[in-house]
Structures are given as C-alpha cells and as structure tokens.
Amino acid sequence: MDDLLELTGRAEATHFWFRGFRKFVAPVIGDLADGRARLRLVDCGCGTGRNLRLLQPHGRAIGFDLTASGPARAHADGCVVLRGDVTKIPLASETFDVATAFDVLQSVEADVAALREMARIVRPGGAVVVTLAAFNALRGDHAEVWNEVRRYTPATARRLVEAAGLRPERISFVFASVFPLLVAARLAQRLTRRFRSGPRAAVDIAVPSAPVNGLLTALVTVEALLLRHVPMPIGSSLLVVARKR
C-alpha cells in the first residue's frame, strides 16, 4: 500500500484524472460552504493528504488514513492527519460540518458501517461527500491493485446512502468525457493480462505523454464546466452528496 501511495503522490499534481477529479469536487465543496470560511471539515481515508487542499479554503480541515505512510506524507506537507479506520473513526460525534471520502468506500468491505461512521461525526444538517467507482464492468488492473470490493451504480449508491441514515441530495456521474477511453483501456487490460508480467500498480497511475495528458485534461475541464448545468448520462465514477437529517 505504501508503494501505491508513492505512485499516487507522484501523479496527483499533473495526471489528467486527478486534475479532473479536483475540478469536479472543488465546486461541490464550495457550494456546501456557501461563502463560509470557518467550517470544520474532515477527509476520511485521505491517502497522501493532497485533497485536504480542496477543503482548507473553507475552514479547518483534518484527515485520517489507515496507512502509516499517508499521515507521514501529509504531516510533511503541513497537514493535520491522524491514523484511523473509516469503519471506526477516532473522532468525536457531531463535530464536523463536512466529511468527505474520495474513492475509498469501494475498497471497504463494510461500506454501510463506514458511511454511518461518517454520518456520526457530522453535525445535524451537515454534509457527507463521497466519490465512488462506477460499474463492475470497468474493473481492471487498478481495481485489483487497490483491492476493490465492489463498484456502484446510481441505484446502489442511493441505497448505501439511505442505509447509513443520510438523505441523498445529489448522485451524479463524472468522467463521462473519457468514459469510452476507459472502457477501451479496461478491455485491453483484460485481453493482455495473461501475457504481462511485473507489478500492475503503475498501469493506470502513470501520467500519459504531455500532449495526451493535456488533451484529456482539457476534456475533463470542459466536462466539469458542463456538469454545473447538465447532468452526465454515464461516467466511470459517481459523485455523491448526502445530508445528515
């Protein structure tokens, strides 16, 4: 897992997927903050801690991660990150205004328990924001390396949110613009898997060549702008916003 975080840390700044992710998520957090800058926010399963930068403009943001190297990396960047399990969050109840978990729950066996824990630490009326990998058919090398337990559809995401006692406010697809490319990449991985050797961790995290990465960044940037006004009909991930009753 530490090796995966190392690869992720190298890619987060420039890889088109991470750039797109930030462009999708940042406006959502901004809308929830609604101009407030004194919120308490927590990123659950924060990995390298880089996504805390999306939360920090709106108040005091902390994170926690199950790994040892994740908090160490985040501390080196000046972020407050604890070590903890999302199914047993080491934080007090009803303490935060916003709790996030980005591409975490698909790798947690007890996803309902994890989301209930996130709901527990959020104040009444507070928000929970998660991103989820979509469609089991899109499982590939990345899914196996990160030990994905499941992927979601809008219907299963809604059931997850409701089972955790939260009210879903938004469940939308993201990465529609690169969906055909991702389908092709997953198919190619399956067809060539038996002929390949060596670690698979870097397959999806490796930054494409500059022209390709620039083009794909432009595509997801346009999609992020459109998503503010038009829901996407398909995508490789789901962006979910839920509210504590």
Question: What is the rounded (10 degree) CA torsion for 85, 21, 226, 172?
Answer: -30
The reported pLDDT for the residue numbered 189 is: 83
A 10 A CB-CB count for 165 gives 14
Query: Which is it for the CA torsion 55, 57, 60, 62, positive or negative?
Result: positive
Task: Indicate the SS3 state at residue 176.
Answer: coil
Question: pLDDT means per 10 residues in the chain (245 residues)?
Answer: 73 94 98 97 95 96 90 76 96 98 97 98 98 93 83 98 98 98 88 66 76 98 97 98 97
d(CA 245, CA 243): 6
- As a whole number of angstroms, the distance between CA 70 and CA 38 comes to 25
Which pLDDT does position 79 carry in this prediction? 84
Which of helix, strand or coil describes residue 103? coil
CA–CA gap between residue 158 and residue 69 (Å, rounded): 33
Which residue blocks in 12-133 are alpha helix, DSSP H? 16-33, 52-55, 69-76, 111-121
Note whether 63 and 86 are within 8 A (CB). Answer: no
What domains are there in the chain, each with its CATH number?
A: 2-244 (3.40.50.150)
Local structure of residue 175 (DSSP, 8 states): -
State residue 145's pLDDT score: 76
Q: For residue 20, list its beta bridge partners.
A: none
Residue whose token pair is 């702008």: 225
* Residue 86 to residue 107: CA distance in whole angstroms: 11
Note the pLDDT of residue 8: 82
Per residue in 27-69, pLDDT (tens digit) is: 999 999 999 999 999 999 999 999 999 999 999 999 999 988 7
- Tell me what pLDDT residue 159 has: 98
The reported pTM is 0.93
